Structure 1
């Protein structure tokens, strides 16, 4: 194992397990899926129950897929789609910086996942174990990066166009 493979593994594990934990929390934490559904309804992602299930499932699947390095550009695309929706629906109005609940963190997670798709999952991954070098060449480099970006943008923007209906602005009293 070289330093590059270890570094990619470390980044995949931290990003992937963090995302999977977010999905797990939607399923089993605090308000669970019904609470998450109510929150999705309140921010304009309707129907909330559908989006709570889709978001939680995507977070777990994309997180574990990235952590394991399995078909790496596909879970990276999941990150991109999730972060586009989160940034647009929740964080956009707060500006860039995370200290003001802005979209900085969303950008970092999405960009890091795309970078991993471009680099490839490395030797310590299921991609390396399951696929020969010819197949792996489609799961990294420009092809991997484009898969992550195009699928992620299509998923995130498509979801917003089809489902996002922002609640009416509250009037100042």
Structure 2
């Protein structure tokens, strides 16, 4: 047993389970998808029903991939994209500290996911079992770029309140 592999497993598991539960809460939490859709509308992500489903599916899927150490650059890209959208919508203009609604938390989560792609998922991962060695600076950079591009496309494609008027 290598300490580094244990540490990577623990980081993957915590990040992955955290994002999985976050996505599941969008579907099964007190307000369900309808409440999540209303909240997305309130932060400018329209149509809310679509963004709620996309976010929940991405969070659940990326959380599972991260925890399992499978298709690691895809997991990192999804984390980066999700956290960038959160940072540019709900946390924007609120400063750094999360207790004031700032971007501290989403910045940390996104950066940790990309950092893990640079290092790799470790020996106790499905990527290792499959012989996939998709790690390093290039893979981490690609995951960051793909995640940021996906987030920016999603934000550019959202409808604004003016577009909702007849």
TM-score (norm 2): 0.94
Distance in 1 (CA, whole Å) between partners of 2:103 and 2:73 is 22
In structure 1, the gaps of 5 or more residues are: 168-173
Distance change in 2, residues 1:29/1:4 (3 Å): same
Distance in 1 (CA, whole Å) between partners of 2:122 and 2:88 is 32
- Equivalent residue, structure 2, for 1:41: 41
- Equivalent residue, structure 1, for 2:3: 3
- Equivalent residue, structure 1, for 2:22: 22
**Divergent runs of 4+, >6 A:** none
User: Are the counterparts in 2 of residues 83 and 107 from structure 1 also a CA contact under 8 Å?
Assistant: yes
How far did residue 165 of structure 1 move? 3.2
- Equivalent residue, structure 1, for 2:145: 150
Distance in 1 (CA, whole Å) between partners of 2:27 and 2:143 is 25
Task: Give the aligned CA root-mean-square deviation in angstroms.
Answer: 1.3
User: Are the counterparts in 2 of residues 74 and 147 from structure 1 also a CA contact under 8 Å?
Assistant: no
Question: Structure 1 residue 120 and structure 2 residue 107: aligned?
Answer: no
- 1:26-84 residue CA offsets vs partner (Å, 9 max, x unmatched): 01011110110111111110010000000000000001100000011101110100001
Distance change in 2, residues 1:123/1:154 (3 Å): same
Q: Kindly tell me the number of residue pairs found equivalent between the two proteins.
A: 162
Aligned pairs (5 A) from 1:16-165? 16-131=16-131, 135-136=132-133, 139-163=134-158, 165=160
TM-score (norm 1): 0.90
How far did residue 164 of structure 1 move? 5.9
How far did residue 142 of structure 1 move? 1.5
Q: Aligned with 1:92: secondary structure? A: coil
How far did residue 166 of structure 1 move? 7.0
User: Are the counterparts in 1 of residues 83 and 107 from structure 2 also a CA contact under 8 Å?
Assistant: yes
Distance in 1 (CA, whole Å) between partners of 2:161 and 2:100 is 20
Distance in 2 (CA, whole Å) between partners of 1:146 and 1:104 is 21
Distance in 2 (CA, whole Å) between partners of 1:149 and 1:7 is 22
